[in-house]
Amino acid sequence: MPAETPVPADHIARSIVFLRGQKVLLDTDLAALYDVPTKVLNQAVRRNLERFPADFMFRLTAEEVAILRSQTVTSSSWGGRRAAPHAFTEQGVAMLSSVLRSRKAVLVNVEIMRAFVKLRQILESDAGLLRKLEALERRYDAQFKVVFDAIRALMTPPSPARKRIGFGDAKDTGPPAGVTGPQP
């Protein structure tokens, strides 16, 4: 019988964000993964607050909410949440499995733990590679400087190209040739 996977791992990985130097999942994303309303998830957490110390879960500040909102282009001033979301660390997500007792919650938690482990392995392998490169660079100094610079350039992730917003070029400020009068 094939193993039941309730949520694709890449979906979980896209939901993990870095806040306060930690990898966390927001309550809204966790609720979606567990297929429960955010209100229900937060209610279960409130009933078991002693299980969620500050290093397991924290509430976002207004500034953090504004930053996340601008990055994800979400909710306007109308509607949305009244309270700032909770952020759950890896340990907090593990603790959620004892609070949310459904079969789906257990399966989703297993996948989330795997995603955290994989992310940690990727970050550690990049750090190890960088340490090895620096050791080689110290050893061979100027002989291979060009090679080391090229490898370092390949290791840095490309910055995403920003798409221009607006109409036409800045040079093109007037109406098209031959058009007069007010423009619609």
Q: Output the domain CATH number for residue 23.
A: 3.10.260
According to the model, what pLDDT value does residue 12 have?
Answer: 76
For residue 66, the enclosing domain spans 9-118
In a domain, 177, yes or no: no
Burial track 15-39 (b if 16+ CB lie within 10 A, e otherwise): bbbebeeebbbbbbbbbbbbebebe
Residues 66 and 146 both lie in one domain: no
Task: Provide the pLDDT confidence category of residue 124 given band limits of 50, 70 and 90.
Answer: confident
Residue type, 67: I
Q: Which pLDDT tens digit goes with each residue over 136-161?
A: 666 665 556 666 677 777 777 666 66
Residues 107 and 24 both lie in one domain: yes
Residues 58 and 147 both lie in one domain: no
Asked whether residue 3 carries a pLDDT value surpassing 70, the answer given is no
Tell me the torsion sign for CA atoms 139, 140, 141, 147. negative
Q: Which pLDDT tens digit goes with each residue over 91-109?
A: 898 888 778 877 777 778 7
* Choice between 80 and 101, residue whose per-residue pLDDT is larger: 101
Residue 86's H or E segment, with its range, is strand 86-88
User: In whole angstroms, how far apart are CA 95 and each of 6, 31, 65, 92?
Assistant: 19, 14, 24, 5
According to the model, what pLDDT value does residue 43 have?
Answer: 92
Residues 91 and 109 both lie in one domain: yes
Average pLDDT over every residue of 34-49: 90
Residues 89 and 129 both lie in one domain: no
According to the model, what pLDDT value does residue 140 have?
Answer: 63
According to the model, what pLDDT value does residue 147 have?
Answer: 65
According to the model, what pLDDT value does residue 175 have?
Answer: 57
Residues 68 and 112 both lie in one domain: yes
Average pLDDT over every residue of 25-42: 89
According to the model, what pLDDT value does residue 84 have?
Answer: 87
* Choice between 28 and 123, residue whose per-residue pLDDT is larger: 28
Asked whether residue 79 carries a pLDDT value surpassing 60, the answer given is no
Residues 78 and 141 both lie in one domain: no
Residues 29 and 87 both lie in one domain: yes
Residues 27 and 67 both lie in one domain: yes
Residue type, 183: Q
Within 10 A of 116 (CB to CB), how many other CB atoms are there?
20
- Contact between 114 and 16 under an 8 Å Cβ cutoff? The reply is no
Average pLDDT over every residue of 33-61: 91
Asked whether residue 78 carries a pLDDT value surpassing 60, the answer given is no
* Choice between 82 and 61, residue whose per-residue pLDDT is larger: 61
3-state secondary structure of 143: helix
Q: How far apart are CA 98 and CA 51, in angstroms?
A: 9
